[in-house]
Amino acid sequence: MASTPEVALNSAGGKARQMESGYGASPVELKSFSGLDFSLRLLLFAFALSALVVLLTSKQTVTITILTLTITRSAKFTNSPAFVYLLVALSVTTLYSIISLIISAASYRSKSSPSSSSLFKLMVIDLLLAGIMASATGCAGSIAYIGLKGNSHVLWNKICNNFGTFCRHIGGSTLLSLLASAVLLLLVVLSSFTIYRRSR
C-alpha cells in the first residue's frame, strides 16, 4: 500500500499534468476556448487574405491633360516601400493564419485544449505579428493619407483626385490590415487569459 506522502505527490503530479495539458478544465471551458480561438483565427485569415488581394490589385493608369500636353501615368503599390512592407507583412500573416487555423481546428475537433507551453508559443508569435502588422499598417496609412490630403507645408500634392481607384484599394487594404492587427491582439489576450486561468 502506498504511503500518504506518495499518494499526495502522485495527486499533485496528476493535477500539474492536467493543468499543463488543459484537461483539468471543464468540457464547457475547453469547448469555449477552442471555439473562440478557431473563430478568431478564421477572421484573421479572412482579413489578411482580403487585404493582400486588395493590395495586389491596387493598380491604375490614367491620362492627364495639361494645356495641350497629354501625359500617361501609372500608380501601383510597388511605387512605395511602405506598401511593399505591408505586402510582406500580410503575406507572412496569411501564411501563419493558415497554419494556426489548422492547429486550432484540430484542437476543436479533438475537444482538447493545447498545452500551456504551446499556448505560450502561439501567444508570442501572435504578439510579434501584431507588432509587425501594426507598424506596416501605420506606414501604409501615413502614405495613403498624404496621397489623399497632400501636405501643403512641404508642397506634396494629393494624388487621389486623379488616382481614385488606386487610392480606394490602398485604403481598403489598410483598413483590413488594421482589423487583422486587432484580431491578433485579441488572440494574445485570449491566450494570456487561458494561461492565467490554468496557473491559478
- Between 116-149 and 164-199, two packed helices, what is the crossing angle to 10 degrees? 160
- CA separation for the pair 144, 147 (Å, rounded): 5
pLDDT in tens, 113-132: 667 788 889 999 999 999 99
The helix (H) or strand (E) run that includes residue 74 is strand 69-76
Torsion of CA 181, 186, 192, 197, to 10 degrees: -170
pLDDT at 78: 92
pLDDT at 17: 46
pLDDT at 14: 47
Alpha helices in the chain (DSSP H): 4-21, 27-56, 81-109, 116-149, 164-199
Phi, psi of 72 (to 5 degrees): -105, 125
Taking alpha carbons only, the member of 10, 13, 24 closest to residue 116 is 24
Does pLDDT of 71 surpass 60? yes
pLDDT in tens, 91-104: 999 999 999 999 88
User: What are the C-alpha distances in Å from 67 to residues 70, 73, 128, 132?
Assistant: 8, 16, 52, 45
Contact 60, 139 (CB under 8 A): no
- Lookup result for grid cell 495527486: 11
pLDDT in tens, 149-200: 998 888 788 889 888 899 999 999 999 999 999 999 999 999 888 888 777 7
Does pLDDT of 7 surpass 80? no
- Chain centroid, CA 148 distance in Å: 26
pLDDT at 20: 45
pLDDT at 30: 57
User: What are the C-alpha distances in Å from 82 to residues 49, 86, 134, 159?
Assistant: 18, 6, 12, 16
Taking alpha carbons only, the member of 53, 73, 55 closest to residue 143 is 55
pLDDT in tens, 9-67: 444 444 444 444 444 455 545 567 778 889 999 999 999 999 999 999 999 888 877 77
pLDDT at 155: 79
- CA separation for the pair 80, 167 (Å, rounded): 13
pLDDT at 1: 47
pLDDT at 18: 45
* Range 61-74 average pLDDT: 81
pLDDT at 27: 52
Determine the length of the chain. 200
